[in-house]
Amino acid sequence: MARLRAFTMPKWGIEMTEGTIAEWQVKEGEDFAKGDTICSIETAKITNEVDAEYGAKVRRVIAEAGAELPVGALLAVFDDGADASEEEVETFIANFKPGGGAAKSDPEKSAPEPAPEPETAEPKARVKIDTNRPSSPEALKLTEEEGVDISGIEGSGREGRITYQDVHQAIHGPNTAKPRGTTVLPNEDAIFASPLARRIAALHDIDLSSIGGTGPRGRISKKDVLAKMPDEDGGAVSGAPFRLVANDAEIVPFDRIRKVVAKRLTAAKQEIPHFYLRISVNADPMPEIRKAANLVLGCKASVNDLIVMAAARALARHPDVNVQLHGDAVHRFAHADVSVAVASPKGLVTPIIRQANRMRINQIANATKGVIEKAKEGALGYEDMDGGTFTVSNLGMFGIENFDAIINPPQGAILSVGTSKRVPVETEDGAIAFETRMSFTLSVDHRAIDGATGAQFLQTFKTLLENPEQLFG
């Protein structure tokens, strides 16, 4: 059974006697759910969105956007049951009378009633209009009372239906009165725009004459004005609709180095059974020994140079980690040829510090500086890249705490270096102190290196960094 409901002008506060429909968010024939926004209503003080208290279908919109109506006036008809017939809707509208929500008059504040017309004044003759154009009863009644030629009226209702507002506008012309409490920009009084759109345009100095309205009969709505608001930082202004911009892809083909890297790392991740061992090291002793070494040897060794040196010395003590895997054979090496991961303009490269276990810290620093400069200039040769028994990859300078690096085949392991940070630790006497900790992750090829072997290598590596004087013994 059809259940028609009247949607009327609400009353917010004692002083509210009328309101203006700023913008409809639903259209005739549309369904809405409980909580959906139905429309925006503007009063002398506020503009408020009206949310649905129940779900229904919009059967008829009576008051067009921009209409100023008293509290309790019929704004729309909703159907929250089975679809009612058009005749039932028309009967409901014709029989509607404002209920208790209508404003009550205050004898002390109400304006004087207009003087009655002279008794000699003759009532306006009502002209019977015979037409098959779809029109609301109130619209047809007004055309007959005013003798309006209905053929010249363009209906704004559903499927060209002529509404009461269409006839009223044909008689009196567009409503160009300034909305209450709104500042209208010069020369805009004749522009067909909603009160809320005018207010937003006035606040942001937007010329309404430059805006094309998307509302009924070309009326400028709030969203039309918001779409014209300046977008200073590339994001939508608060309240403005999000607008998509061109997002064309820049196509960058792989160069020769990128192709090689992609092929090797894809194969490595697919074919090598990686497992990972993690350890943290007390890095507080490293700066002092580095400072002393630089002073004595006249070099500029970095923390990463100390890490390469410690890894190389640990590899020499654990040759089972200093390996390459070729087919079904493991190749062990007596000396550590340590590859250093470097970000070059052409991508990631891993030049080699050869026999780093036999070098002093100044020699490692000079060799590392040399290959980094060649990498930045794109001048690395085959001899700089061929071979390598182990790799060190450091992202700690970027604040990365830890990461899992992909093994660089045919090597059996790679050491990733994280950032250092101050952390609280418990001392031997139970007190709390702070020390600098640095995290390391060893990615291991389980085909060539067992877990215990990798763990023993990391223990030696940790001991060398926490006791760096052993590196110079």
Strand-pair category, 47-51 with 37-42: antiparallel
pLDDT of 126 > 70? The answer is no
pLDDT of 369 > 80? The answer is yes
pLDDT of residue 465: 96
CA atoms within a 13 Å half-sphere pointing along the CA-CB vector of 444 = 23
Residue 27 CA to residue 9 CA, distance in Å, equals 17
Q: Where residue 123 falls among pLDDT bands split at 50, 70, 90? A: low
Mean pLDDT of the chain: 82
**DSSP string covering 128-197:** P----S-B-HHHHHHHHHHT--GGGPPP-SGGGPBPHHHHHHHHH----PPPTT-PPPTT-TTS-B-HHH
Strand-pair category, 338-340 with 390-394: parallel
Of the candidates 156, 411, 135, which has an alpha carbon nearest to the alpha carbon of residue 268? 411
Average pLDDT on 338-344 reads 91
pLDDT of residue 353: 96
* Amino acid of residue 462: K
Find all residues with CB under 8 Å of 19, minimum gap 6, and list them.
9, 10, 41, 42, 43, 68, 69, 71
Q: Where residue 240 falls among pLDDT bands split at 50, 70, 90? A: low
pLDDT of 128 > 60? The answer is yes
pLDDT of residue 50: 87
> Residues 97-116: pLDDT tens digits?
886 433 333 333 333 444 44
- Region of residue 408 (left: phi > 0; alpha: psi -120 to 50; beta: else): beta
DSSP 411: B
pLDDT of residue 145: 78
> Residues 152-207: pLDDT tens digits?
777 766 667 777 767 777 776 654 444 443 444 444 456 778 878 887 888 777 88
> Residues 392-403: pLDDT tens digits?
999 999 999 999
* In contact, 446 and 274? CB cutoff 8 Å: yes
Average pLDDT on 311-318 reads 97
Residue 309 CA to residue 312 CA, distance in Å, equals 5
Minimum mean pLDDT range among 35-39, 165-169, 232-236, 285-289 = 232-236
pLDDT of residue 179: 41
pLDDT of 120 > 90? The answer is no
Strands lying side by side in the sheet with 47-51: 47-51, 37-42, 18-24, 68-70
* Amino acid of residue 255: D
Percentage of residues of the chain with pLDDT beyond 90:
40
Two tokens, residue 72: 């309790």
Of the candidates 55, 57, 20, which has an alpha carbon nearest to the alpha carbon of residue 39? 20
> Residues 40-63: pLDDT tens digits?
888 765 667 888 888 899 999 999
Burial class (CB in 10 A: 0-12, 13-18, 19+), 294: middle
Residue 259 CA to residue 322 CA, distance in Å, equals 27
Report, as residue numbers or ranges, the catalytic residues. Answer: 446
Residue 334 CA to residue 315 CA, distance in Å, equals 9
pLDDT of residue 320: 97
Superfamily of domain 256-472: Chloramphenicol acetyltransferase-like domain (3.30.559.10)
Minimum mean pLDDT range among 84-93, 220-229, 435-444 = 220-229
Percentage of residues of the chain with pLDDT beyond 70:
81
Minimum mean pLDDT range among 142-151, 281-290, 316-325, 434-443 = 142-151
**Domain locations in the chain as residue ranges:** 4-95, 256-472
Average pLDDT on 325-329 reads 93
Q: Where residue 306 falls among pLDDT bands split at 50, 70, 90? A: very high
Radius of gyration in angstroms for the set of CA atoms belonging to the chain, rounded to a whole number: 41
CA 452 to chain CA centroid, Å, is: 47
Which CATH entry fits the domain spanning 4-95: 2.30.30.90, 2.40.50.100, 3.20.10.10, 3.30.70.2740? 2.40.50.100
Q: Where residue 129 falls among pLDDT bands split at 50, 70, 90? A: low
* In contact, 40 and 238? CB cutoff 8 Å: no
pLDDT of residue 110: 35
Strands lying side by side in the sheet with 352-353: 274-282, 432-445, 413-426, 390-394, 338-340, 352-353
Minimum mean pLDDT range among 21-25, 147-151, 165-169, 233-237 = 233-237
Helix (H) or strand (E) holding 432: strand 432-445
